[in-house]
Structure 1
Amino acid sequence: MIKAVVFDMDGTLFDTERLAIAGWEHVGRVTGYPIHADLVMKLLGRNIKNCHLVFQEALGADFDFYRYRKLKTAYIEDYIATHGMPVLKGARELLAYLKERGYPLALATSTDRATTLYNLKNAGFTDYFSGIVCGDMVENSKPAPDIYLAACASIQMDPGDCIALEDSPAGVTSAYRAGLHPVMIPDLQQPDETVQSMLYARLDSLDQAIALLEKDRAAGK
């Protein structure tokens, strides 16, 4: 029986992966570096350290990643200040359902802690999560299992009693390796056969997880 839920953030709760692509493309226009969507897609699910390595490999060691990342972050913050936090379909409904029924919730995101807390606060989601584990809090990024193991520990739950809600193949792999039951809601990336074989379920939107959990609850009675 599923006893707890662990969420990814970018591309799962918030439509911020598209914002990140737009932000990095903005950096490319400002700096003259060839930064396009196909390069930014390689960053999905990775922490800052690994993103830095991706950029260095693609653009050279002289690419000032941390300086230019601030430009990308400012672009995203300006968008959020103007348009609000881009919450994905079904997120509010699912969180309300889980809170009402007392499921322990954790967040396992490759994004750094400062940005994560900023995003959660802007969406009004901070109080839903008993545990929050971010990319700068673990040594190894997704698809390594570290972040999901830490997230389960943060809410004192066995990984086998948790589902992981994810949008990316790297996140699904991370959750699967940690022993959770991965549920994928694909966003910018679709699962291949290997990732598909890891899935507990595949959904079109977060609110569909309600029926999945209701079915699990009924089977557990």
Structure 2
Amino acid sequence: MPNYSDKPVIIFDMDGTLLDLDYDDFIWNHLLPIRYAQTHDCSLEHSKQILAEFYQEHNHTLNWYSTRFWTAKVGVDVLAMQIEHKHRVAQRAGCIELLSYLKANDYPVWLATNADTAGLAFKLEETGIGEYFDVMVSSETLGHAKEFQPFWQKLQQMHAFDPKHCYFIDDTEKVLNGAAAFGIQNLYSIAQPSSANSPRSACNFPMLDALTDLIAILESSHVEHPAAESAIPEISIAVQDEELKKYA
């Protein structure tokens, strides 16, 4: 069993961090407007306008990430639509290489995603990345989006970890701001969440050009602070949520 006393917890976001955000952009910004226009017999232009208003209203709320909410809101089975195109779900370059390195070197690796449990389930099945995580948590299970403090408070209650001895990688700046407010000190963003878009030019957090850049960061930190790492009390890792076990 890994010795968690001398390894920081590594927490990853999923969409735009480990997985290519191009899939989600396709679903929400291209396909859903078409399906909404077909369902409600309106023009594509009107469909895009209506959906843009909905998106603006619910952005960064728990509803924003809920397939059940959007299905009821827009009259389109959003989960079925996503699964229909699940073949487009793709890992970002270096995803498995990084996760394999962390597992081989006994790092506790967690997945903390705003995707609802249904969306998380089919993406884990499609990509096979679930086997690399000690803990997997959906914001739907915790009842709060990652942007807000109750998410992190509940996560820490369920799965004890030291925010000062932890790395969190996410492509959304507002989420990283929430993690910073909670006290997580080692925060990294993603330079190119979607392969279809150009890399970002600026961010308030250091950005990983490639996921595997994290390996050098961790190895450098281990060399510079070996005594500090060994002094961290052992972290108790609870079993992952019963609701998500069947999807791992």
TM-score range, shorter chain: 0.7 to 0.9
Alpha carbons 2:94, 2:210 under 8 Å: kept? yes
Structure 2 counterparts to residues 93-112 of structure 1, below 5 A: 93-112=97-116
Counterpart residue identity of residue 123, structure 2:
N
Which residue of the partner structure matches residue 35 of structure 1?
48
Counterpart residue identity of residue 187, structure 2:
P
Which residue of the partner structure matches residue 60 of structure 1?
none
Alpha carbons 1:6, 1:151 under 8 Å: kept? no
1:157 deviation in Å?
1.4
Could you say what secondary structure the match of 1:29 adopts?
A: helix
Q: Gaps spanning 5+ residues in structure 2: where?
A: 1-5, 38-45, 227-248
Which residue of the partner structure matches residue 164 of structure 2?
160
Which residue of the partner structure matches residue 81 of structure 2?
75
1:155 deviation in Å?
4.0
Query: Identity over the aligned pairs, expressed in percent?
Result: 22
1:162 deviation in Å?
0.5
Which residue of the partner structure matches residue 59 of structure 1?
none
Q: Distance in 2 between matches of 1:45 and 1:102?
A: 36
CA pair 173-43 structure 1, distance change in 2 beyond 3 A: farther
Q: Distance in 2 between matches of 1:39 and 1:19?
A: 21
Could you say what secondary structure the match of 1:27 adopts?
A: helix
Alpha carbons 2:149, 2:178 under 8 Å: kept? yes
Which residue of the partner structure matches residue 91 of structure 2?
87
Indicate the larger mover: 158-167 or 128-137: 128-137
Alpha carbons 2:62, 2:143 under 8 Å: kept? no
Report the number of matched residues.
203
For 1:110-162, what per-residue CA distance to the aligned partner results, in whole angstroms no more than 9, with x for missing partners? 11112212212221111211211112122332321333444445442111111
Could you say what secondary structure the match of 1:77 adopts?
A: helix
Which residue of the partner structure matches residue 14 of structure 1?
19
Aligned counterpart in structure 1 of residue 208 of structure 2, from 178, 199, 203: 203
CA pair 49-175 structure 1, distance change in 2 beyond 3 A: same
Which residue of the partner structure matches residue 176 of structure 2?
172
How big is the alpha-carbon RMSD for the aligned residues of Structure 1 and Structure 2? 3.2
1:190 deviation in Å?
4.5
Counterpart residue identity of residue 99, structure 2:
L
Q: Distance in 2 between matches of 1:101 and 1:122?
A: 25
Mark the structure with the bigger radius of gyration.
2
CA pair 155-66 structure 1, distance change in 2 beyond 3 A: farther
1:202 deviation in Å?
2.0
Counterpart residue identity of residue 165, structure 1:
I
For 1:53-82, what per-residue CA distance to the aligned partner results, in whole angstroms no more than 9, with x for missing partners? xx99xxxxxx942643x2x333332222x4
Counterpart residue identity of residue 74, structure 1:
A
CA pair 93-41 structure 1, distance change in 2 beyond 3 A: farther
Alpha carbons 2:7, 2:106 under 8 Å: kept? no
1:45 deviation in Å?
8.1
